Structure 1
Amino acid sequence: MPPVKKIVMWLVVVFLLYAILTSPDSAANIFGSAWDVVAGGVSNIGRFFDSLLRG
């Protein structure tokens, strides 16, 4: 059985490169949106623990 994880990783990398090369503006918008979601999640986790420790 081939190493499925490695194959999937290469497919994701190739797709990301294709997306960036064919439409860089859209790729930048998607990356920015994903970054906002991650940053918001980290901020909310921080608020949760801050509230938990004060409570």
Structure 2
Amino acid sequence: MSMPPVKKIVTWLLVIFLLYAIFTSPSDAANIVGSAWDVIANGVANIGRFFDSLIARS
């Protein structure tokens, strides 16, 4: 199934912007990726704690 042309154009524009941001300011890009990774890791840890507390109550 092929993507509509508008979706394909927006995807390419997003990829080009991300590459531009990485090449012009790699330290800021690394900080953003690190922050996003911290948010994801904390979310997964909190979900794990939630299910652990559900199991402990049984």
TM bin, normalised by shorter chain, reads 0.7 to 0.9
Percent identity over paired residues? 74
Letter in 2 for 1:34: A
47, 51, 54: which one aligns with 2:53:
51
Q: After TM superposition, give the deviation of residue 53 of structure 1 in Å.
A: 1.1
Letter in 2 for 1:18: Y
TM-score by length of 1: 0.86
Q: Rg: which structure is higher?
A: 2
**Aligned-residue CA RMSD (Å):** 1.4
Count of aligned pairs between the two proteins: 54
Q: After TM superposition, give the deviation of residue 7 of structure 1 in Å.
A: 2.1
Hey, what does 1:11 align to over in structure 2? 13
